[in-house]
């Protein structure tokens, strides 16, 4: 803008955009001043074909006199106005003031102003296309998200509800005699499906809090080995007959974490193993100190893993990798998204890593607790 004003010997250059009947100043060599006006207004008229553009006296398209605009109204000034457009769409005006002259701007000044207006128009059109593309992508992803939610509701909410109703209905049938062992099995099935349903609902609620930035960690000091042992004991019946290698040294530094978040991270990773790497695929959990400020935890399995070109999508919400193990109960596709959200809420980070077992390895890095102060 300043360079254009200097090269074309102009007092002031202003770019005004017209949007929905309203005007907005995009750029100005005199920011904060009222829009320019003058007693003489010259508009650049583009001619068809190769004919040169020419300047003509014209009225203010906004229907106001130069005096009403209240700027540059000196009788010794004139206003040059060049339409900014992209294709057939008028986007605004390039306004320039200069001392009144006996002749219109010469060819060089005319070319400079026309090129500047064209460049602004192209830039605005490019921004408009990017915005439209972004809005289209947002709409596409919103549709995909709605489809994923509907699909997940169908599979991950209705399925356990159907199992619960079937088992409860059978138990309530007075015409059916139930041995004690069968009754206990049915009750256990109801409890397991209710737990699964509760886990799914809590996962969706946690994901919504993560997306809204409302997840707040209540940090305390924990030993990863103790938390991992508790979670493994709880998940042992679902892990089945497989080799489980736990390498969490006793001298591993403690971490600053939220107990529920840390438990949920390990639970979601173990559920991912159950779904995608069923027994007898091995499982390994290991940890080490990276430095005095961070502790690394890796959970890996000997399942089929994930193709390299899909690894970048592992932590996307509602993403479910194709193929894999039994897909009878495919899951909601939010487990690894929750793992990342919980870790980041605690000041940590998550990424996939190379697995020694040939399957999927997830690496979690958490802040280490500061060493205890020695007594004075």
Q: What is the CATH number of the domain that holds 259?
A: 3.30.565.10
Residues 338 and 205 both lie in one domain: no
| DSSP per-residue letters across 113-155 | HHHHHHHHHHHHHHHHHHHHHHHHHHHHHHHHHHHHHHHHIII
Buried b (16+ CB within 10 A) or exposed e, 328-349: eeebbbbbbbbbbbbbebbebe
**Per-residue pLDDT tens for 234-255?**
999 889 999 999 999 999 999 9
Residues 229 and 179 both lie in one domain: no
186 pLDDT above the threshold of 70: yes
Measure the CA–CA gap between 157 and 331, rounded to whole angstroms. Answer: 10
**Per-residue pLDDT tens for 254-268?**
999 999 999 999 999
Residues 245 and 302 both lie in one domain: yes
Question: Of the candidates 132, 155, 171, which is a domain's last residue?
Answer: 132
By three-state DSSP, how is residue 190 classified? Answer: helix
| Host domain of residue 124 | 2-132
Question: Of the candidates 162, 189, 209, which is a domain's last residue?
Answer: 209
Residues 64 and 164 both lie in one domain: no
**Per-residue pLDDT tens for 272-301?**
899 889 999 999 999 999 988 999 999 999
Residues 152 and 85 both lie in one domain: no
Which of these, 94, 108, 74, lies nearest to 27 by C-alpha position? Answer: 94
Residues 254 and 190 both lie in one domain: no
Tell me what the mean pLDDT of segment 182-193 comes to. Answer: 86
Q: Which pLDDT score is estimated for 70?
A: 38
Residues 352 and 234 both lie in one domain: yes
Residues 72 and 153 both lie in one domain: no
Residues 39 and 61 both lie in one domain: yes
CB 352 within 8 A of CB 299: no
Does the residue 374 lie in any domain? no
Residues 123 and 185 both lie in one domain: no
Domains held by the chain: number: 3
Residues 349 and 251 both lie in one domain: yes
Question: Of the candidates 209, 238, 260, which is a domain's last residue?
Answer: 209
Does the pTM surpass 0.85? The reply is no
Does the residue 376 lie in any domain? no
């Amino acid at each position: 803008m300043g360079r254009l004003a200097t090269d074309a010997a102009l007092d002031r250059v202003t770019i005004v955009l017209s949007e929905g009947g309203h005007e907005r100043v995009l750029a100005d060599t005199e920011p904060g001043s009222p829009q320019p006006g003058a007693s003489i207004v010259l508009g650049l008229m583009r001619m068809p074909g190769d004919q040169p553009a020419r300047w003509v006296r014209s009225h203010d398209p906004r229907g106001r006199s130069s005096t009403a605009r209240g700027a540059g109204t000196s009788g010794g000034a004139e206003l040059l106005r060049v339409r900014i457009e992209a294709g057939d769409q008028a986007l605004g005006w390039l306004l320039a003031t200069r001392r009144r002259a006996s002749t219109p701007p010469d060819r060089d000044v005319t070319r400079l102003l026309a090129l500047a207006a064209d460049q602004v128009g192209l830039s605005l059109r490019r921004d408009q296309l990017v915005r439209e593309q972004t809005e289209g992508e947002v709409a596409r992803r919103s549709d995909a998200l709605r489809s994923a939610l509907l699909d997940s509701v169908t599979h991950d909410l209705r399925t356990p509800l159907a199992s619960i109703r079937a088992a409860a209905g059978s138990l309530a049938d007075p015409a059916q005699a139930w041995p004690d062992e069968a009754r206990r099995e049915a009750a256990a099935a109801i409890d397991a499906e209710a737990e699964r349903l509760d886990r799914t609902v809590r996962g969706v609620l946690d994901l919504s809090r993560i997306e809204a930035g409302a997840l707040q960690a209540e940090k305390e000091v924990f030993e990863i080995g103790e938390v991992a042992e508790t979670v493994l004991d709880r998940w042992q019946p679902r892990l089945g007959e497989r080799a489980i290698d736990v390498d969490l040294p006793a001298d591993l530094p403690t971490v600053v974490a939220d107990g529920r978040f840390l438990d949920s991270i390990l639970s979601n990773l173990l559920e991912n193993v159950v779904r995608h790497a069923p027994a007898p695929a091995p499982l390994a959990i290991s940890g080490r100190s990276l430095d005095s400020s961070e502790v690394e935890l890796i959970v890996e399995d000997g399942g089929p893993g994930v193709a390299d070109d899909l690894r970048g999508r592992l932590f996307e919400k509602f993403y479910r990798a194709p193929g894999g193990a039994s897909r009878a109960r495919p899951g909601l596709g939010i487990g690894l998204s929750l793992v990342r959200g919980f870790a980041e809420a605690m000041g940590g980070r998550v990424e996939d890593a190379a697995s020694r077992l040939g399957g999927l390895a997830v690496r979690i890095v958490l802040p280490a607790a500061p060493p205890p102060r020695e007594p004075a």
